[in-house]
Amino acid sequence: METYRGTVYPWQVDHMGHMNVQFYVSKFDSATWQLFGAVGLTREWLNANSRGMAAVEQTINYSAELMPGDLVVVQSTVIAITARTLRFRHVMMNCVSNEEAASTELVAVHMDLVDRSSHPFPDSIREQVEEMIVSNADR
């Protein structure tokens, strides 16, 4: 699913003339929250239940440079869910060249914000995520 669409701005460019790594992470982070919302982990739900999500692992692969003015889109896929973790992948594409610019795979833990420990996902969230995984496998 599409989880982010935007532009590379001149102020996001480093001394090498391409988008700095911090902005790849920022765009991927925006995509993450869209993905979470799609499976029911909205800000409202998290706040109402004193829950949060914490990234515990992230791997990023940079494939092609992005330059000022480039248009980008991020497509996201849920890979797996366990009782307490969600593994997902984002792929950032240059909209004009249709070239992959970067990809990242993350593991996030569902947290209880009161006792600051990992906590199992409720069945309703697990079911939405599992439906998304099956839907992605059918494509």
66-98: pLDDT as tens digits = 999 999 999 999 999 999 999 999 999 999 999
3-class DSSP assignment, residue 35: helix
Name residue 49's amino acid. Answer: N
Provide the residue ranges of all domains of the chain, joining segments of one domain with +: 2-137
Residues of the chain below pLDDT 70? 136-139
Does pTM top 0.85 for this prediction?
A: yes
- Fold classified for 2-137: Thiol Ester Dehydrase; Chain A (3.10.129)
End-to-end CA distance of the chain: 11
Question: What's the confidence (pLDDT) of residue 97?
Answer: 97
